Amino acid sequence: PYGVSKLEAERGLMQVAHETGIEVVIIRPPLVYGPGVKGNFASLIKLMAKGLPLPLGAIHNRRSMVGIDNLVDLIIRCIDHPAASNQVFLAGDGEDLSTTELLRAVADALGRPARLIPVPAGLLSMGATLLGKRAVADRLLDSLQVDISKARDLLDWQPPVSVKEGVK
């Protein structure tokens, strides 16, 4: 229902733009991170800060994210660039990471060792399902990638901040 309501809102905005001539730009960000991040990302940061061993050392998924600085930069580009009018853009850092790579980057930013135990993703998924935590496992183990090439090509936009810098 959440995703459907967002799509309906986008369609409604585009219809209003068509009828009135106002300019609309839609930006679809994946996970947004930065100072004050909440949710699962904040939980992972806390776990890494504690130095606890985690069974996430063998996750080979690919996840797109966008740092707040990169998202703001894209928003500004969309405001300033005439080609952005009435377009839909996917936002991202342009560097997709696995959960394992993300945790290593977080540990590095914290100056802590990444204590990651290489447990196969299938075993983690099965254990999470047995514990009634399948949705949590899906967010940690599944891939979710977005293609930012439209913003790169149409707006000549490049994310100015690397994931490593953004995580720090």
How does DSSP assign 72-116, residue by residue?
A: HHHHHHHHH-GGGTTEEEE---S--B-HHHHHHHHHHHHT----B
Residue with tokens 């293609």, as numbered in its chain: 147
Mind telling me the catalytic residues? 2
Alpha carbon distance 81, 75 (integer Å): 10
Alpha carbon distance 157, 62 (integer Å): 22
